[in-house]
Amino acid sequence: MGYTGENVGEPLDTVSHMVTNLPTEQRIFLTGQLLSLLLAFLFRWYLPPSTCGTSQRHFVAFLLGICLSFYCFGWLAFFVIGEVVIGYILLLIADPRKVQVYTLLMSMGYLTVFHIRRYSYPTDEELDLTVPLMMLTQKISKVAFEYHDGIGRTEKSLSPSQRRLAIQFRPSLLTYLSYTLGFLGLLAGPVCSLNDYQMFIQGSEKCKNPGATVYKKLCLCSVLLAAHLSLSDRFLLSYDPQRSVAVTFFYLYLAGATRRPKYYFAWTMADAINNAAGFGFNGITEDGTEKWDLLSNLNIVKIETATSFKMFIDNWNIQTSIWLKEVCYDRSPFNPVISTFILSAVWHGVHPGYYLTFLTGIPITLAARRVRNNIRPLFQGTAMSQAVYDVATWFCTQVVMSYTVAPFLLLELGQSLQLYRSLGFCFHILPLLVILLLPKNKKSNSIGESVNNPTCDRNYNHLKKQS
């Protein structure tokens, strides 16, 4: 029912009707995040670091996280706590030179068990437990790697970013519980470094009221939620032999574009929750404006106007990309591109569509790098040629990305292969031809750069440590 203007309360009634008729899983997530937002404001107002000790703030954040876990997951919350306990035990007993390997294997194995459970018994009557476990996998493994860098390696062997993130002392149990199970990032993250989290709890950064920033992000969340509720089911991915190739690609684009607001909403809301608690400050711009983007997980404008595969990835799920770079790409003993894509696929779940999407992304990533290095310089002569190149590459990026993520949306292998077959596997074959025909530029950017500059390299807190 649309809004006719005859009843002032009708818009609110319509929104209320849509929200109350959400699947149980989505309703629990939404109410859980709204509750977290309220708790974040209260945390900043009544437990400021100026009057409360670090231990008190850690304990309250942890306690609120436990309560939120049981509200959202019921008795399954014990499995969330269980992974954290195992992770801390590994920090206590494992050799610092190997603790990061054991922890990553444990956390990924633990997560995969629940991915299999979700795959075998799908339901929308409970909030997906793999959501917080995915966040915990990042946090637990991230702490282990940073602890390994600080204790198990020499300073000379560390890269600049690893040196800045390294943890020189094993975190206390309370600090660890607050970081992993705290209410701020329990349901949707984003993951952050332990050093940044401790600076927030200790109140090391003096910043002004984040109210205006939170208000803007919440207004954006309202628009994104409305877009999700009204658009998410409009375009269903399915093979239709009556459609031409062009129409099929158009549907792929619409299907992907109308599902993105769900992720935009979740990540923007998560960012706003942390900001409401006073976490996320990232310095001041040259014009004196405070930046609250330390934990931001996306840049919507850059995603929708991306002119390259790299630019799209750089601005999508930013903190997860940084985690992948830190724990995998920078340390992989074999091809870092392949190993990073495989780890990302396993982290997402066990549905065949995830693996097909990420395996498809490997040659596309390599081919896109060749195209950029060999073709782009030819169009940099004039403003007109640059504009033509940007428009053409935006169109190509949207088409290729829609093709790549289709299995991610379909999930099933049979449907995904049927769709790709109808399109002649065009963006599997074309990237291989590009890799074979275009020369490799030795100065090309690595995926380490394409998976974002690390947080610490654009992080005000870590830049201060260097000065």
The tens digit of pLDDT for each residue in 117-126 reads 999 988 877 8
462 or 412, which is more confident? 412
**Residues in the chain, total:** 467
pLDDT at residue 243, as a whole number: 84
427 or 1, which is more confident? 427
pLDDT at residue 451, as a whole number: 45
pLDDT band, very low/low/confident/very high, at 18 (cuts 50, 70, 90): low
For the full predicted model, state whether its pTM sits above 0.95: no
Helices 413-422 and 352-374 meet at what angle, rounded to 10?
40
- Residue 377 Cα distances to 74, 181, 357, 368, 380, angstroms: 57, 48, 30, 14, 5
DSSP character at residue 246: H
275 catalytic, yes or no? no
Q: Would you state the structure tokens that stand for residue 131, as one six-digit string?
A: 């959501």
317 catalytic, yes or no? yes
153 or 286, which is more confident? 153
pLDDT band, very low/low/confident/very high, at 215 (cuts 50, 70, 90): very high
pLDDT > 70 in the chain, percent: 89
Tell whether the model's pLDDT for residue 227 goes beyond 60. yes
CA 196 – CA 230 distance, rounded (Å): 37
CA 467 – CA 462 distance, rounded (Å): 9
In 3D, which of 175, 180, 177, 182 has the Cα closest to residue 67? 182
Cβ-Cβ contacts under 8 Å for 305 (sequence gap 6 or more):
394
Contact present, 168 and 146 (Cβ < 8 Å): no
Tell whether the model's pLDDT for residue 304 goes beyond 80. yes
CB atoms within 10 A of CB 337: 20
* Catalytic site residue from 58, 148, 228, 348: 348
pLDDT band, very low/low/confident/very high, at 464 (cuts 50, 70, 90): low
CA angle 189, 179, 162 (to 5 degrees): 85
In 3D, which of 133, 185, 181, 82 has the Cα closest to residue 348? 133
The tens digit of pLDDT for each residue in 95-110 reads 999 999 999 999 999 9
* Catalytic site residue from 317, 452, 459, 461: 317
pLDDT at residue 3, as a whole number: 37
Distance of CA 279 to the CA centre of its chain: 17
Range 193-209 average pLDDT? 87
The tens digit of pLDDT for each residue in 305-335 reads 999 988 999 899 999 999 999 999 999 888 8
pLDDT band, very low/low/confident/very high, at 224 (cuts 50, 70, 90): very high
